[in-house]
Every structure is written in structure tokens, then in C-alpha cells.
Amino acid sequence: MPFTRALCYLSSLIILNACSPDSGSPDDVKDITDPELYQFTEVDIQFLKRFSISQLGEPPASISNKFADDKNAAQLGKSLFFDKSLSKSGNFSCATCHQPTLYFTDGLKRSKAAGTTRRSAPTVLGAAHSPWQFWDGRKDSLWSQALGPIEDVNEYDTSRTAYVRKVLQKYANEYQTVFGKIKLDFIKQLPEHASPAGNEESRNNWQSLDKKTQSQINQVFSNTGKAMMAYQRQLQIPESRFDLFIETLPTNQPHRLAEIFSAEEVRGLRLFVGKANCASCHNGPLFTNYEFHNIGAPDPQDQTVELGRHEGVKSLLTDEFTCLSEWSDAKENECAEMRFLKTNGTELVGALKTPSLRNIAVTAPYMQFGQFDSLKQVIAHYNRPTPPVYNREQHPSRPHFDIMPLKLSEQEALALESFLGTLTSPLPKDDPWWGL
Ligand code: HEC
Ligand code: HEC
């Protein structure tokens, strides 16, 4: 961005017409070689407005978590999210892999804590708006999702009893303020490690506990997830240059628009919603439809073929903490997502949840295994995809493949890449929920 334009961009946040054609220098005016490029029809403007962060609104109401919008729960959730002492080694927290300064990602192909995870860490920004969590959607809520990393050997590597004991020792007051008074004595008699999801010893210890104690543990365990969900619902995405451009569109002043987007960025935007077809999946204020698609990103050599949603739905059917479970605050007939779950079909094979493209230029690497290091590589894939070969034994039938080669020119690919760079928001240093 030339300096004058950068200045206009900054000042336009304060005084909206600081960069109107009248106040621009003759140099600025010369900048626009193609004023038509900056002209958008009323229909275009209305369509593009749907991508503005200002249209996002609150996350959908949670039926399975009645504490979802409780501020005290969110405060406790924030403490839990950043607290390393709750992991087995005392070295890892959620923020190890979801770092605020990296827009709640970790910059790695595959995440590292107690071990190495199978897939890459997506951001948690915007996750509160998604009906499903994880690349394969194997969780139906943020609270249920949050319980996974705690017992995962590659992540916290701890157990249900150890975690619950630590939380109640450290956060007894905060916990009881949100979830009500409980008798804390039961934690004294618990085995060091016990869980129905742990190793053999841990599972045996779990079996030796009476039903009432198991139930007390699960209650606290699921409530910690509900607090972390409440926390993640508070995370806001600040406006990016893209949002400013969309807000400025109705003024119909090419010169003002040119202060915000370069010609290449506008060409990229036009490709994104047009010829390159990206917006058919990456749409709305978060640039995702939150649906599952197979775009055939190549599987790394050391990985088994990605079955995606096909596996995700199987996990959901046996998950202990879904909307239909006893730990959910929903009535059974309210859990429509789970009751009408699509459990088979070729379109599920290899299909992954469309990720948000907000802040995408600063959250490499890309795709579920971090297969691509750069946006150039991502766009090259969409341009000429090489879908993975599926072994007949690994999937029921030929999977559905959801993209077509785009055959963009080199220049078009570059324009698309520039456009993606406009989706980066400034880090909000004064937003306490981000914890920067
Ligand atoms: C060791 C690194 C690591 C730790 C620790 C970790 N995560 Fe993650 N997180 C990941 C990875 C990897 C994925 C994607 C896994 C998959 O889809 O199979 C993920 C996925 C998620 C998602 C789903 C986002 C989406 O769009 O689908 C959320 C939400 C999330 N983590 C929150 C948390 C919370 C809350 C904690 C702490 C309790 C946590 N994570 C701890 C690595 C980590
Ligand atoms: C059919 C739906 C669909 C279309 C069309 C589509 N995408 Fe995607 N996109 C996805 C899915 C699903 C993923 C995750 C796939 C994976 O991890 O293997 C993804 C992943 C990405 C990622 C990586 C995100 C991350 O956090 O790792 C980028 C960048 C991206 N798409 C950009 C684009 C661009 C640019 C276009 C247009 C050229 C486009 N997409 C078209 C569905 C789509």
C-alpha cells in the first residue's frame, strides 16, 4: 500500500470522508487506471454486504449449554483455556495450540503438546457460529469439543479425575458461582487417574467407581467444557480492510475505494465471488458455509487417506457428550442436528468442514494436515486439483469430489492471493477476551 493510501485508510477509520476525491492529491487520482473496476451495481453491493463482519451477529443460541452466555462462566472458561497447570505435565493449555497472537492457531502443520496431533489446529475464532467442531465435525458443540484435548494423549494427556480434581482445587469459588454449590469432598477419594476414555488402568479405575461418583465427575467435567464454550463465544473478530471496503461501497466513489483496495485486490475479490467460485463454499461474514466438502487436498505420505465426515459421523454416534446425552441441557427432541444426522453417503467420504478464511494470510500452513505452506500452493491446488486415490476397502463407494479445475491465469491467481490478504484483522490489544 503506498504511504498516502495507508494514511487515508487509517484516517478513514476516524473521519469517513478524509479521502474523498476532493481532498485527494492529483497523484491519488492518477492512481486509478481503471475506474470501472471500482464500480459495483446495487445488486453486487447487496450481495457483498453479506460478507461483512458487521453482519455476523451473536453466535446462535445454545440449546445444550444453558451457561453459554453467562459472563462468569466465560471468565472461568478463559482461566481454564490459558491454564497450563491443568495438563499432566503442567506445560500445555488450549492456548499452546490456539495462540492469540497467531489468531488462535499455532503456525504448525500438525500441533505439538504431549505428542503430535493427527491434524492441523484450526482457529477457534468464529467456531461458536459452527454447528459442528473439528475438521470432520465429530463434535456437535463447543463444550463437548473442549473435553477432547484434556484426555487426548497428544494434548493434555491427563485424565478425567486428575483434571476435575485440579479444577475444583484451584477454581472452587469461580466454579460454584456459576454452577452452584457442590460437596467438594468427593474429590479426595478419587483415584489419581480414572476415565472411561483412558488407558487400561484408567478405565479399570473408572469401572471401580460407583455410578454416583462417576456421575459427579462427569458433571464437573462437562461443566468445564461449558465454561470454555462460554469463553470462546466472547471472542470477536475486529474489522479488516475488506470490511472497510464493503462499508465504503455504497458511496460509489472509485477514488475512495481505491484508497482501501488496490486494483489487484479488487480483481481478486471479483474472481473470488465470480469465476473462481470460492464463495460457493467460503461465504458469509466468516467466509464459510460450515458444511462438509471433499476438495481433494493431497494426503501426506505418512497419513492414511482422509475419510473426513464419513468418520466424523461415526464418532458422533458413540460420543458421550452430545446434545442427546444426559450432560446436555437440551430436551431430547430439541437436538435436531443430532436427530437428523446424515450418517452415510458417498458425499461424506473425504469431506471436511469448510474453514473460515478470516485472517487466512497470516495463519499458514493450510488444510487439515497443513499440506500447503502458502496461499499460492492452495490456489494452485484449486486451479489444477489432483484428488487422492481412494482404496476400495477404505470407503464404501467412489467419493464425491466437490471442485472443478479453475484454469486461472497466473495473473488471476496472484490477484486472488492479494485479495485473501485483505481479510486480515488487526490484533485487538485492548480486548480482554483475547488476552493479548
Ligand atoms: C496439542 C494442540 C492442541 C491443544 C492443546 C488444544 N487444541 Fe484445539 N485443536 C487442535 C487440533 C489439531 C484441532 C483439529 C483436530 C481435528 O479436527 O481432528 C483442534 C480443534 C479445535 C477446535 C475446533 C475448531 C473448528 O473449527 O472445528 C476448537 C474449538 C478447539 N480446538 C478448542 C480447543 C480448546 C478449548 C482446547 C483446550 C481444552 C484445545 N483446543 C486444546 C489442537 C489443539
Ligand atoms: C466445494 C467447496 C469449496 C470451494 C468451492 C472452495 N473451498 Fe476452500 N476449502 C474448502 C474445504 C472443505 C477446505 C478444507 C479442506 C482440507 O482441509 O483438506 C478448504 C480450505 C481452504 C483453505 C485453507 C484454510 C485453512 O485454514 O487451512 C483456503 C485458503 C481456501 N480453502 C481457499 C479457497 C479459495 C481461494 C477458493 C476459490 C479458488 C476455495 N477455497 C474454494 C471448501 C471449498
- Would you state the pLDDT for residue 265? 98
CB 128 within 8 A of CB 232: yes
Residue 164 alpha carbon to ligand 1 centre in Å: 19
For ligand 2, pick from 110, 357, 412 the residue to mutate: most ligand atoms within 8 Å of CB: 357
- In angstroms, the CA 148 to CA 233 distance is 18
For residue 235 and ligand 1, the question of a CB distance below 6 A is answered with no
Residue 235 alpha carbon to ligand 2 centre in Å: 23
- In angstroms, the CA 192 to CA 194 distance is 7
For ligand 1, pick from 145, 233, 311 the residue to mutate: most ligand atoms within 8 Å of CB: 145
pLDDT digits (tens, 9 = 90+) for 206-221: 999 999 999 999 999 9
CB 80 within 8 A of CB 86: yes
CB 363 within 8 A of CB 106: no
Residue 20: CB atoms within 10 A of its CB come to 15
- Would you state the pLDDT for residue 386? 81
Q: What cell was used for 280?
A: 460457493
Ligand in closest contact with the CA of 276: 2
Ligand 1, atom 42: nearest CA belongs to which residue? 121
Positive or negative, the CA dihedral 24, 26, 32, 35 is positive
Q: What cell was used for 136?
A: 470432520
Domain segments of the chain as ranges: 71-233
Residues 6+ apart with CB under 8 A from 88: 114, 156, 157, 158, 162
What CATH number belongs to 71-233? Answer: 1.10.760.10
- In angstroms, the CA 41 to CA 307 distance is 42
For residue 231 and ligand 1, the question of a CB distance below 6 A is answered with no
Q: What cell was used for 351?
A: 469431506
CB 140 within 8 A of CB 131: yes
- Would you state the pLDDT for residue 393? 64
- Would you state the pLDDT for residue 125? 98
- Would you state the pLDDT for residue 23? 38
CB 221 within 8 A of CB 187: no
Rounded to the nearest 10°, the torsion over CA 345, 371, 130, 316 is: 50
Low-confidence ranges of the chain (pLDDT < 70): 1-31, 388-398
pLDDT digits (tens, 9 = 90+) for 60-77: 999 999 999 999 999 999
| Model pTM above 0.85 | yes
Residue 121 alpha carbon to ligand 1 centre in Å: 6
For residue 126, the ligand 1 atom closest to its alpha carbon is 26
Q: What cell was used for 86?
A: 491443568
Residues 6+ apart with CB under 8 A from 186: 213, 216
For residue 121 and ligand 1, the question of a CB distance below 6 A is answered with yes
